[in-house]
Amino acid sequence: MLLEVKGVNSGYGDVQVLNNVSIEVQQGEIVSIVGANGAGKTTLIRTIMGTLPTKAGEILFDGKRIDGAEPHLIARAGMAQVMEGRRLFGHMEVEDNLLVGGDILHDKQRQRENLEWIYSMFPRLKERRSQLARSFSGGEQQMLAIGRALMTSPKLLLLDEPSIGLAPIMVKDIFGKLPLIRDRGVTILLVEQDVHRSLSMSGRGYVLEHGEIVMSGTGQELLGDERLREAYLGI
Ligand SMILES: Nc1ncnc2c1ncn2[C@@H]1O[C@H](COP(=O)(O)OP(=O)(O)O)[C@@H](O)[C@H]1O
Ligand SMILES: [Mg+2]
């Protein structure tokens, strides 16, 4: 098992947001966690990445306990995140943004290979590699943020609502890359409000409601579930 979250509680100050959350992600899977706005999706990502402490439970990555570890050590162990809102270095050129991402590898050859791969997957980034990131559209920034995370050769990529604020055609384009990323050996954990699109492309998924996992199954099982269809797809 690549990631195991076992009975985790976490939150902000005295406010508990996540309650007894357990999820598992195996090497090579695309897994999504879907839930409405405010369900606790971003809180879960922050808790896994170590920027928010757990109040109970355990988190194992690649078989080792990581709850309580420093975020930079968790990143170095092979986890990369693309946060909601992205946080790029707007004053830096596109290529420098990518190279900064890859710096933690300390492996120039690997960095060059990753850069070529990212450019082949997102030709738009290659065309615009000498431009400042702040001149980018939302979709281009999302591609760049994903590219930068991939520069670290992560074992696990955590994506926080990559579809938010993007035009449907851009969302389709970006989601279409996820299987390619997975096929290169990067396991993906995706959190999304776009229930249909994310479950359609995930092997398995979980439904998070008010900080609790209320349902889990294969993407197809969940999409066929009557309660989920009523609650999230209006069917
Ligand atoms: N920094 C924060 N401080 C206090 N409460 C927060 C903070 N961030 C989020 N929350 C609360 O935690 C709950 C879950 O939020 P969040 O994890 O952002 O949900 P989601 O990403 O699913 O929309 C919400 O009730 C939200 O108001
Ligand atoms: Mg969120």
Strand 156-160 to strand 56-61: parallel, antiparallel, or no bridges (unpaired)?
unpaired
Pocket test for ligand 1, best of 8, 17, 18 (most atoms within 8 A of CB): 17
At 83, the amino acid letter reads: M
Dihedral of the alpha carbons of 210, 214, 220, 225, in degrees to the nearest 10: -100
Ligand nearest to the CA of 34: 1
Architecture of domain 3-232: 3-Layer(aba) Sandwich (3.40)
The whole-angstrom separation of Cα 51 and Cα 74 is: 10
* Residue reference for tokens 């398995």: 204
* pLDDT for the residue 102: 83
Say how many Å lie between the CA of residue 199 and the centre of ligand 1.
23
Say how many Å lie between the CA of residue 132 and the centre of ligand 1.
31
Question: Closest Cα to atom 2, ligand 1: which residue?
Answer: 12
What are φ and ψ of residue 108, in 5° steps? -65, -40
* pLDDT for the residue 2: 98
Neighbours of ion ligand 2 (CB under 5 A): 41-42
Walk across the sheet containing 64-65 and list its strands: 15-25, 3-12, 56-61, 64-65
Domain spans, the chain: 3-232
With a 6 Å cutoff on the Cβ, whether 158 touches ligand 1 is no
Say how many Å lie between the CA of residue 110 and the centre of ligand 1.
37
Q: What is the pLDDT along the chain (235 residues), one digit of tens a residue?
A: 999 999 999 999 999 999 999 999 999 999 999 999 999 999 999 999 999 999 999 999 999 999 999 999 999 999 999 998 766 777 888 999 899 888 888 889 999 999 999 999 999 999 999 998 888 888 999 999 999 999 999 999 999 999 988 989 999 999 999 999 999 999 999 999 999 999 999 999 999 999 999 999 999 999 999 999 999 988 7
Q: Which of 49, 61, 71 is CA-nearest to residue 158?
A: 49
* pLDDT for the residue 101: 83
Q: Which of 226, 220, 193, 190 is CA-nearest to residue 25?
A: 190
The whole-angstrom separation of Cα 3 and Cα 150 is: 18
Strands (E), the chain: 3-12, 15-25, 30-34, 56-61, 64-65, 79-82, 156-160, 187-192, 204-209, 212-218
Length of the chain: 235
